Amino acid sequence: MNFAASDADPHLPGTGTRTEDLPLHTLKILVAGGFGVGKTTLVGAVSEVRPLRTEETLTDASTGVDDLSGVESKSTTTVAMDFGRITMSGGVRLYLFGTPGQERFWFMWDQISYGAVGAIVLADTRRLATSFASVDYFERRGIPFVIAANCFEHARRYTTGEIRKAMDVDPDVPVMLCDVRRREAVKGVLVTLVEHSLRFSDAR
Amino acid sequence: MSLVVDEPRERMVGREAGPIIRPYAVTRGRTRPRGAPLDLVTLLAATGNAPDDPPALSSPQRRLLELCRRPSTPADLASETGLPLRVVQILLDDLRQHRLIQELLPPTTSERPDPRLLMRVLDELRRL
């Protein structure tokens, strides 16, 4: 796998790689939610890498109503996608992708959701309606998802029952409250999603 | 009707705005890869083939090729290089077409992950 010595990059460890560090299996989880709902915080709470942001580009592929005021004249503009990673034993890597929830970003979701474990719909109980489109998307495409309501300070606490009713989701869709700043809480959401994903596969 | 088109004013670009080079300059204006787009988490590795014509590779392509000496994914590579994901997918597709990199595993045909793999992930998450 080595190139000529002149090609060597001093920044690469090169020889120091242990075989068990090599990735063998990769899995994706999508984190969908509106701006400011806490996607970056959620991804950062469990990611082994500092919450990296990768830019995805909105091109002509994004149709639909575009209300990006001030940038209407641009044919491309970049949107940030939160990206996190958890490396597990046996070369398993779990990737988290936080993407904006609006319909105009769905072309990005299509890429992420194919073959994915599932999705976390991160909801803000003060603006639950902003999550309806995300729920529609995953229901229509048959992608397992859980709803995690971020517990903002000063926001009225709703019960999961109330949230479930407002979101009108199937009874088997897990709905939970989550403080996305807490690693343990986010781990709990991930565990719930993977369990749901397993049941979901069985049921099909 | 006036012939003067209301041109958008150049916006001031500050340090926060990132690189000045427009992202699609490095793909020579292409906005899609020639082949099927690589999945964000497809594992890629350098084949070890020497490029036929090294100068034909752009600097970002050479950087990606070097990074692929360790198996990596388009998502990791985009983060590492700071290039937009779509741009990275196009440049990686070029490298793949030139047989300089390859996918480590055959592309999955299943829409759902292997349940055995999910079980392993579940165990690991609980232990985290």
The tens-digit pLDDT sequence of chain B (128 residues) is 444 444 444 444 445 555 555 567 777 777 777 777 789 999 999 999 887 776 688 999 999 999 999 999 999 999 889 888 888 999 999 999 999 999 998 766 778 899 999 999 999 999 88
Q: Does A3 touch chain B (CB under 8 A)?
A: yes
Mean pLDDT value across residues A187-201: 95
- A199 CB-side CA count, 13 A: 12
- B22 CB-side CA count, 13 A: 10
> Quick check: is B89 in a domain?
yes
Of A17, A57, A95, the CB nearest to B41: A95
What 3-state class would DSSP assign to A158? coil
Which residues are CB-contacts of B11 (< 8 A; sequence separation ≥ 6)?
none
> Quick check: is B11 in a domain?
no
Determine which of A16-20, A65-69, B103-107 has the lowest per-residue pLDDT on average. Answer: A65-69
| Cβ contacts of B72 on chain A, cutoff 8 Å | 23
What average pLDDT is seen over chain A?
80
Of A3, A57, A88, the CB nearest to B124: A88
- Contact call for residues B89 and B37 (beta carbons, < 8 A): yes
Of A1, A27, A56, the CB nearest to B48: A1
Q: What pTM value is reported for the model? A: 0.79
Secondary structure letter of residue A157 according to DSSP:
P
For residue B41, give Cα distances in angstroms to A96, B33, B105: 10, 16, 11
- The distance of B92 to chain A (nearest Cα, Å) reads 15
CB pairs under 8 A between A and B: 145
Q: What confidence tens digit (pLDDT) does each residue in A79-91 have?
A: 778 889 999 998 9
In this complex, do B31 and A116 lie within 8 Å of one another by their Cβ atoms? no
> Quick check: is B10 in a domain?
no
pLDDT band for position A32 (cuts 50, 70, 90): very high
> Quick check: is B55 in a domain?
yes
What are the φ/ψ torsions at residue A4 (nearest 5 degrees)? Answer: -55, 150
CATH number reported for the structural domain that contains residue B58 in this entry: 1.10.10
* Helices A183-203/B115-127 angle, 10° precision: 160
- The distance of A156 to chain B (nearest Cα, Å) reads 30
Q: Is residue A68 pLDDT above 50, yes or no?
A: no
- At A4 the pLDDT is 38
- The distance of A191 to chain B (nearest Cα, Å) reads 6
According to DSSP, the residues that pair with B101 across neighbouring strands are: B46
Say which residue, A187 or B29, is predicted with more confidence. A187
Neighbour count for residue B24 (Cβ, 10 Å): 18
Q: What confidence tens digit (pLDDT) does each residue in A113-153 have?
A: 989 999 999 998 888 888 888 999 999 999 999 999 998 77
> Quick check: is B31 in a domain?
yes
- At B113 the pLDDT is 92
Counting DSSP H helices and E strands in chain B, the numbers are 4, 2
Mean pLDDT value across residues A54-77: 50
- The distance of A128 to chain B (nearest Cα, Å) reads 28
In this complex, do B70 and A4 lie within 8 Å of one another by their Cβ atoms? no
> Quick check: is B5 in a domain?
no
Q: What confidence tens digit (pLDDT) does each residue in A40-62 have?
A: 999 999 998 876 777 666 654 44
pLDDT band for position A13 (cuts 50, 70, 90): very low
Residue range(s) defining the domain that contains residue B86:
21-127
State the total domains in chain B. Answer: 1
Percent of chain A surpassing pLDDT 90: 45
Q: Is residue A30 pLDDT above 50, yes or no?
A: yes
Structural domains in chain A?
23-60+76-203 (3.40.50.300)
In this complex, do B31 and A76 lie within 8 Å of one another by their Cβ atoms? yes
